[in-house]
Structure 1
Amino acid sequence: MSSLLQNTLIGFIMLGFAGMEFVTRRYQTSVNATHDDTKLELAMFVSLLAITQPLSILVSGKLCAWLIPEQHGAWAALPWWAMAAILLICDDMTQYWWHRMSHSPLLWPLHRAHHTAQYMSVRITYRNNFFYYLMMPGLWIAGVLLYLGFAKVYGVYLVIKLTVILGAHSAWRWDEPLYRIRALRPLMWVLERTISTPATHWAHHAMTNEDGIGHYKGNFGNLLFFWDVLFGSAHITRKYPARIGLQDDVLFGQERWFTQMFYPLFQSRRAHSALRFGARAYVEDETHGSAADALSPINEQERSA
């Protein structure tokens, strides 16, 4: 698949989901974005497309040309299904683990921005810290696979993957009406355990786990939700959390967009923050669900992600 066709298809898919958000009025009734939200989402979208992705592919390709010049295009004769399997493992599974690791104390500040939106929409799909994507293993591995001859299959794979990811973040919950159709129940049972859906991914963005729907300690899958099933982090309810975002932002105010995007180059001035060296982060008391002054930055991702 040519880059032009690939990008055109992705553009139409984005517009399609965005259009459905408006047609169903989900955007108008649920997306309450601030100016900082818009700046962060636009800046990250542009930087990923214009800087991070091209840079990772270019540099990894140059390194391959230097280290393994004889391997250029060496895997181009592999059947498409073998390439697809390699991509699912080397790109999608590694992204699952990168995402899961990003909910650990060390990497949480680089992923926190993705969870600070108090709404779900296609517009938050690429909302993250700049260095989160720059350090993502899958982008660099993709450059190696492209050097080895995966270009055509990678284009198709990327279109499919982004369709699933955009749909999982969309304010238009495409899976919701399908759950109500009795004849589709067996299909939906398989589907929700195979790919990320709005129900499973919205749970990951929930503000709390207390309602039994939210599951911010799991549901990490991007294209395949199967990784969550396989590695024990899946939570399936076919319901959607009432509140999205981080409790500490509600209590103490949202971090500035440039701090979220460029931490650690910029650091927070907030009293409770994971975006400042040595700061004490907000912790929600497990028993009573109230604010506790506490504790250490280790726990913010566990109680507020």
Structure 2
Amino acid sequence: MDIRAYMGFVTLGAIVVLLAEVAAGRHRGVYKRKGEFPLIGLNMAVGRFLIGPSMAVVIALVWGALLPRYSEALSDIPLWLALPLVMLASEFCFYWVHRWAHQGVRNRSLLWMIHRTHHSATYMNVSVWMRLNIFWYVIIPNAWTMSLAIYLGMGEAAGLTMALNAAWNVVTHSDFRWDDAVRRHPIFGRAFRAAEHIIVSPGIHHTHHGFGRDGASYRNFGVMLSVWDWAFGTLHIPDGRPYKYGLPGHDAHWLEELAYPLVRIDQSRKNAVPSGTQPFAADREPA
């Protein structure tokens, strides 16, 4: 089974979860900001189906030029070993790029201004997975690491990792929060909290999108694995949902969120640094 088949199943699953959320009323009244639907729709049309595939071709050419003698160099590694290696390496790279993006919130770094689109939603459901700036497809480290793995001969491991990554994004962005009950369970709760040091639960990622009580966008940077957050001291296991989702004081136009820095609107209106998204003095990120 190739990557197209894997992603086809994941896409179908995402549609099923999305429809279930809608049927359950989880989308009712949450799209309060103007431009939410065009932002998500254009990201899918331009980002997912145009820039994403184009970048895949560009990145493949880059690796071929940089490492001309290493094509298929690791093709003899069995899948049972290649899969965890690719997963750990891709998660490690994503962790640091993702963390650097959030560390740029104070000085409005380019990396943060591109990534903020994913965090300005004041709700959490499957649609947030596709709520991205189109240039995120250029800098997202997964595209580079997966392309490298394929170039080195670990194509099946890369395909499985991409499919698992996409499927887990559906799980962790969904409004269905089955993990809260498990985390509070008197018997299974402790074991589940221990597992959250390894696997990103919906609660761990919802916390990353929130502010206020149990909200901490300066923590929990992993996608599937929380081992790097645990190793580098940025893991926060919540007790429940965050107080609120989004970025307090955020007022950017949806077109700017879609295509910054190509599109800049109302630059005279400076977005205040969201107080709810910054660590407290005793828990501040190192400079």
TM-score (norm 2): 0.85
**Counterpart residue number, 2:10:** 10
How far apart are 1:85 and its partner, in Å?
Answer: 3.0
Which residue in the other structure is 2:170 paired with? 166
Cα deviation for residue 270 of structure 1 reads 5.4
Residue 224 of structure 1 pairs with residue 228 of structure 2: no
Change beyond 3 A, Cα 1:24–1:178: farther
Aligned to 1:139: 143
Residues 48, 196 of structure 1: alpha-carbon distance in 2 compared, 3 angstrom cutoff: farther
Aligned to 2:253: 256
Q: What number of residue pairs does the alignment pair up?
A: 274
Partner residue of 1:57? 56
User: Structure 1, unaligned stretches of length 5 or more?
Assistant: 274-280, 290-300
Which residue is equivalent to 2:160?
Answer: 156
Report the CA distance between 1:185 and its aligned residue: 2.0
Offset at 1:271?
4.3
Say which is worse superposed, 33-42 or 167-176, in terms of deviation: 33-42
Residue 245 (structure 1) aligned with residue 285 (structure 2):
no
Distance 1:90 1:33 in 2: 38
1:43 is the counterpart of 2:37 = no
Q: Separation in 2 of the partners of 1:163 and 1:141?
A: 18
CA distance in 1, matches of 2:221, 2:67: 34
- C-alpha RMSD over aligned residues: 2.3
The whole-number CA distance in structure 1 between the counterparts of 2:64 and 2:116 is 36
- After the TM superposition, which segments of 4 or more aligned residues of structure 1 sit over 4 Å from their partners? none
Given that residues 6 and 155 in structure 1 are in contact (C-alpha distance below 8 angstroms), is that contact kept between their aligned partners in structure 2? yes
Give the counterpart letter for 2:78 in structure 1: P
CA distance in 2: counterparts of 1:193 and 1:243, whole angstroms: 24
The offset of 1:23, in angstroms, is 4.5
1:100-122 per-position Cα deviation (integer Å, ceiling 9, x unaligned): 11111322111111111110011
Give the Cα separation in 1 of the matches to 2:194 and 2:51.
35
Unpaired stretches in structure 2, ≥5 consecutive residues: 280-287
Aligned CA distance change for structure 1 residues 302 and 267 (closer, same or farther; 3 Å)? farther
Could you tell me how far apart the structure 1 residues matched to 2:86 and 2:45 are?
Answer: 25
> Tell me, what secondary structure is at the counterpart of 1:227?
helix
Q: How does 1:184-223 map to 2 (within 5 A)?
A: 184-206=188-210, 208-209=211-212, 211=213, 213-223=214-224
Query: CA 1:266–1:237 in structure 2 vs 1: closer, same or farther (change >3 Å)?
Result: same
Deviation at 1:25, TM superposition (A): 3.0
- Structure 2 match to 1:282: 272
* Same amino acid, percent of matched pairs: 25
Alignment partner, residue 77 of structure 2: 78
For residues 35 and 94 of structure 2, what CA distance do their matches in structure 1 show? 27
Alpha-carbon displacement from aligned partner over 1:1-50 (angstroms, at most 9, x marks no partner): 31331122111220232133235432336x33545111111222233332
Give the residue type in structure 1 aligned to 2:209. H
Change over 3 Å in CA distance of 1:18–1:177 after alignment to 2: farther
Matched, 1:98 2:89: no
1:109 maps to 2:120: no
Q: What letter corresponds to residue 99 of structure 1 in structure 2?
A: H
